[in-house]
Amino acid sequence: MPDSIQCARDVLAGARAELQDRAHVVATGVGLTPGAGGDSSVPCIVCSVAEKLSRAELASRDRVPSMLDGVRVEVVQTGPIRALAARTDRQRPAPGGVSIGHHDISAGTLGCLVRKDGVLFILSNNHVLAASNAAELGDPILQPGPLDGGRLPEDRIASLTDFVPISFLGAPAGGSLVRGGAQLLNRCLGRLGSDLRLRLVREPPSTSLVDAALARPLDDSLVSDEILEIGSVIDIASGELGMEIQKSGRTTGLTRGRIEQVDVTVDVQYGGGRVARFTDQLMAGRMSQGGDSGSAMLDAHARLVGLLFAGSESTTVINRVEHVFTGLGLEI
Amino acid sequence: MLSSIQEAKTKHAERLLELPGVVSVGIGLDPGGRPAILVGLDGPRPETCASLPDSLEGYPLCTQVTGPVEALASGD
């Protein structure tokens, strides 16, 4: 066997330049092909091609011979071979799973593409594309996100189109004026010597269902339907307890897990002391870190289940896709 | 009439979230695989744990330390 491998290497060394010159050939090497008995392997020359065509479709000079100096030649279709770009690099077209962000934030993840009235949009989180409610519609979206070197104007990929506002706890929703009014009135009552005091009936805190936003690519050719290491979204599905799920994110790449809790009410910290309470969330174990926000969460069959937006040292929190689509006016 | 676990969770979630250190309330499974109300804590909270019942409306209540839950933009 070592002798026959050396023989194949010697033959390839002599023929490599000529083989690589043929159309569609992207790589050449020495490999093993199953022997006649099926159990033994025979050294051969492997020609990797971008696209495998029948001999009839090829010009004679582009045909790969089946034998070279007594060594068998196998043709394998690998597709074009590209340098593997990092998820934090600039990528055009940009697939799901790479860095993205509003120009005022750090970086999150481009979730996936969705269509609204036939028009293509990037789906990610409000806190990734709309700076947690602070952005204006039309603001530039950068790929990669600013933390990963995205700069205006050259890395602009899209414009913020829509977002579902997040309700932060303690944020005035008309409540502060009422509270202020009551305090003023109580001070007056106190000066008048009255024991009467107004007590505000406590309202339940306003809650949120999703942390979601849409951005319109400057051109459809700048984005790709694929999600890195997963492929295209084929459908949507409702998340259920025990369901196997997967995501492709800027920081931790492809990770898999399981839905461990449903109907979750959770208080999420947004930095600067801001907290928002979310209801009807899905919770999985640890399958994310900072920068994975906005990742599309899919089941094992590449059906969209939700949008990853938060987590802790041992959990990952996911908006349900039903609420994301309803909130953004997308058709299910 | 027994309420569903969803109803039991909805009824008690707000109150549970007011206890020190409680960050989440959801529905999952207890270690024995039975449907349970799961309470997430930002760290070890012996006093909060001591104040919690073992069950709510007949459903097991379990605590787990999840740590604080944060929005996951990078560096946030």
Could you give the 3-state DSSP secondary structure of residue B70?
A: strand
For chain A, which ranges sit under pLDDT 50?
173-176
Cα-Cα-Cα-Cα dihedral of A59, A60, A63, A66, to 10°?
160
Buried b (16+ CB within 10 A) or exposed e, A124-148: bbbbbbbbbbebeeebbbbbbbbbb
Q: pLDDT tens for residues A262-292?
A: 999 999 999 999 999 999 999 999 999 999 9
Residues 6+ apart with CB under 8 A from A36: none
- Picking from A262, A289, A310, the nearest residue to B71 by CB comes out as A310
For chain B, which ranges sit under pLDDT 50?
1, 76
Q: pLDDT tens for residues B19-37?
A: 999 999 999 999 999 999 9
Q: What is the distance, to the nearest Å, from the Cα of residue A247 to the centroid of all Cα atoms in its chain?
A: 7
Whole-number pLDDT of residue A80: 77
Whole-number pLDDT of residue A45: 94
pTM of the predicted model as reported, rounded to 2 decimal places: 0.76
Residue B4 DSSP class: P
Q: Do B74 and A260 touch (CB under 8 A)?
A: no
**Interface test with chain A among B9, B16, B72, B76, by most A beta carbons within 10 Å:** B72
Q: Do B73 and A269 touch (CB under 8 A)?
A: no
Q: Do B72 and A107 touch (CB under 8 A)?
A: no
Instruction: Confirm whether the ipTM is greater than 0.85.
Output: yes
Whole-number pLDDT of residue A124: 98
Q: pLDDT tens for residues A209-252?
A: 999 999 999 999 999 999 999 999 999 999 999 999 999 999 99
Neighbours of A192 (CB within 10 A): 8
Q: Do B24 and A265 touch (CB under 8 A)?
A: yes
Q: Do A312 and B73 touch (CB under 8 A)?
A: no
Q: Give the separation between CA A164 and CA A172, rounded to whole angstroms.
A: 17
Q: How far is CA A43 from CA A5, A8, A12, A281, B50, in A?
A: 5, 7, 11, 55, 69
- Parallel, antiparallel, or unpaired: how do β-strands B59-65 and B35-41 relate? parallel
Nearest CA in chain B to A271: B76
Note whether A189 and A196 are within 8 A (CB).
yes
How is B23-62 classified by DSSP, letter by letter? Answer: EEEEEEE-TTS-EEEEEEESS--HHHHHHS-SEETTEEEE
User: Which residues of chain A neighbour B28 with C-beta distances below 8 Å?
Assistant: 241, 260-262, 283
Please name every residue paired with A266 in a beta bridge, in sequence order, or none if there are none. A278, B24
Note whether A113 and A232 are within 8 A (CB).
no
Note whether A94 and A306 are within 8 A (CB).
no
Whole-number pLDDT of residue B76: 46
Q: Do A265 and B26 touch (CB under 8 A)?
A: yes
Q: Do A125 and B70 touch (CB under 8 A)?
A: no
Whole-number pLDDT of residue A4: 85
List the Cα angle A319/A301/A324 in 5-degree steps: 20
Nearest CA in chain B to A251: B74
Q: Do A315 and B14 touch (CB under 8 A)?
A: no
Neighbours of A36 (CB within 10 A): 7
N- to C-terminal Cα distance for chain B?
46
Whole-number pLDDT of residue A78: 85
Whole-number pLDDT of residue A171: 72
**Interface test with chain A among B7, B22, B74, by most A beta carbons within 10 Å:** B74
**Interface test with chain B among A210, A308, A316, A317, by most B beta carbons within 10 Å:** A317
- Picking from B40, B64, B76, the nearest residue to A106 by CB comes out as B76
Q: Do B76 and A271 touch (CB under 8 A)?
A: yes
Q: Give the separation between CA A323 and CA B8, rounded to whole angstroms.
A: 22
Whole-number pLDDT of residue A175: 44
